[in-house]
Structure 1
Amino acid sequence: MSGKAQDPSTDLFRVRLVMLLHVKMYIGILLYCLLLTESLRGIVLLILLVVVNSLSFMRACLTDPGRVNRKAHHKYLPDVVTFGRGISTQICTNKSGDWIRAIRIDGTEYEEKYCLECNLFRIAGMSHCRECDRCVLDMDHHCVWFGNCIGRNNIRHFHIYLYTLVAVILMNAALFYSLLAMYPGQGTFPALALRILAFALATLYTVFFSIIFLFAMFNIYVALNSSTSREFIKNGTGSRQLDIKKACRNLSRLRPDISFDQPSV
């Protein structure tokens, strides 16, 4: 089976739409600096916010999320391999008829499911992306906004972008609410039209802020439980205990475990 073929015209429309929305938000930040920010420190912080947001967006789009090289052919046969005392692997089919590889270490069994598209066994956290048609390590989700999967290698950029995007949208909403307060309508049609436009944009940014803020809180909650969005939606948190050190590492992801494509296994 193959992944979904992407329509070039649809992808081009997505790119243009995303770029337009970012330019619009950044212009809002510029107007906030010119009209409402009096201190140089505040202007520098807002410019830094835009720079970090735009760079993290590009890194999340362009970084390989951790795609795994597929195998050309299925070459596994049912067998049992013993590596030493208490350590063995068994390739077989489960009750559903799916290929699995059971790894037993000192009485504890770990199960790896087989990916028919990539012809390999998926280690823990690896999932197959239908849009990319590749297995991805620690796959969180496929993001239409980025046109890329969010996985082990780029999730840190995704987190940084998401948190700074909350601030960018908040500043845009604050800009239009401030304009409504600073320039009350004088009864003329142009002034009334501008107030209606400012109110509509302020309301729109408020809705966007609420959605993105809740999404950011969800990602923080998932990271605190040492999970991914995909695992959380599928299995919940289970019986995992909160590990503060691991949770902070998951939130920042400043030191990913890998930097390059992994060979198939």
Structure 2
Amino acid sequence: MAENSGLPILDKALDEANFYLKQSLPPWNEASGLQRLIIFFFKLAIILPVLILIGIIIAGYSLYIIFYVYPLVSSTSDSPDLYFWHSNSEKFTAELRGWVCFGLSSWNLFWLCISVYRAMMTSPGEVPNTSTWEITSINKEVSESTPLTTENRKDGGIRICVHCNLKKPDRCHHCKQCGKCCLKMDHHCNWIANCVGYYNYKYFYLTIFYGASAMAIFIATFWESVVVALYDKETSNSMSFIIVLTYSLMTMLGVTIIAFCIFHTWMIANNYTSIEFCEKRRFKVPGYEKSPYSISTIENFKEALGQNPLLWYFPFESRGKEDKGLYFKSKKY
């Protein structure tokens, strides 16, 4: 399980490219000139969604400041009457609204950028290469040294990964694109070029949370610029087209991100990962009508976002030292 960016064709192409890159091409320092060129284009294809994400963030914020905030806070007296102020008090109210929107959008942008960076650069967590998780015999029966797990094979044995040659903790899955087993794997996200798992799920969630917040502000306010662009005779047709197109695209993207954020908030509250929801709950696997790992809503949020509620919505680590992503409380144990 390694795909869930919302674009299955892109996921499949990147999966195959990454597999070919790792299996069929030598390391960079051993590659020929042609092979290095192929590696370069494969790497570019893998990082392309990240560049698109960064471009959307920069473009969206810039267009919002240029076409909405600046006209509100500008001191020029030739602003169109369609901006709805005809007195000093109305102008003051408009300026205040502009500065408030500027502050809120900049606040979201600041934390969004940090969240994206940390989601990209933080490892989701790997199975430790210790005696507890090493495979000594695939057919060995459960013994005292075998970790107790909620998820087991059909024969009752602990799950194993033939690629990593290690036993699998609960909620751990092998990612083909990353080439490793990821702890509490949620999905592989091509938009951050990384797996989303135990140690970076919080940063991924905050990425969509601050993205959704920024989009909500954009949708709720930028329509004023659309009205001005459509009815102000001094606005050129090309400029009107750009403003209307921007609002239309950002609204469609915003609705998607807001829905995605609501979905992940619901999954946190019910202690599901995307894999568990899509592969087990949706297909009515016994025991997953309600997550076997769900203790209570507050405890579920603590597991995902950290023990300190005051730090839940800031991209800082707030887990206890004992939290390693290898064992989870469940109804079974």
TM-score where L is the length of structure 1: 0.76
1:210 counterpart = 2:255: yes
| Cα pair distance change 1:199/1:68, threshold 3 Å | same
Deviation at 1:228, TM superposition (A): 0.7
Preserved contact between residue 112 and residue 210 of structure 2 (Cα < 8 Å): yes
> In structure 2, what is the Cα distance between the partners aligned to 1:227 and 1:146?
21
Listed as ranges, the gaps of 5+ residues in structure 2 are: 1-15, 22-41, 74-94, 282-287, 307-311, 313-317, 327-333
Letter matched to residue 125 of structure 1 = R
> In structure 2, what is the Cα distance between the partners aligned to 1:23 and 1:208?
15
Letter matched to residue 265 of structure 2 = I
Preserved contact between residue 114 and residue 122 of structure 1 (Cα < 8 Å): yes
Deviation at 1:129, TM superposition (A): 0.6
Give the equivalent residue in structure 1 for 2:126: 67
Out of 155, 162, 185, the residue aligned to residue 116 of structure 1 is 162
Give the equivalent residue in structure 1 for 2:199: 153
Deviation at 1:74, TM superposition (A): 5.5
The 5-angstrom pairing of residues 1-265 of structure 1 reads: 4-5=19-20, 7-31=42-66, 32-36=68-72, 38-39=95-96, 40-69=99-128, 75-76=136-137, 78-80=139-141, 82-83=143-144, 102=156, 111-174=157-220, 176-185=222-231, 191-236=236-281, 237-240=288-291, 243-250=296-303, 252-253=305-306, 254=312, 255-256=318-319
> In structure 1, what is the Cα distance between the partners aligned to 2:213 and 2:160?
42
Listed as ranges, the gaps of 5+ residues in structure 1 are: 103-110
Q: What is the percent sequence identity of the aligned residues?
A: 19
Deviation at 1:251, TM superposition (A): 5.5
| Cα pair distance change 1:226/1:94, threshold 3 Å | closer
Moved more, 160-169 or 19-28: 19-28
Partner SS for 1:79:
coil
Deviation at 1:184, TM superposition (A): 3.7
Deviation at 1:83, TM superposition (A): 3.5
Letter matched to residue 49 of structure 1 = N
| Cα pair distance change 1:192/1:231, threshold 3 Å | same
**The structure with more strand, counted as a fraction of residues:** 1
**The structure with more helix, counted as a fraction of residues:** 2
CA RMSD after TM alignment: 3.4
Preserved contact between residue 224 and residue 250 of structure 1 (Cα < 8 Å): no
The aligned length equals: 242
Letter matched to residue 196 of structure 1 = F
Preserved contact between residue 270 and residue 290 of structure 2 (Cα < 8 Å): no
> In structure 2, what is the Cα distance between the partners aligned to 1:229 and 1:201?
31
> In structure 2, what is the Cα distance between the partners aligned to 1:150 and 1:94?
24
Moved more, 115-124 or 247-256: 247-256
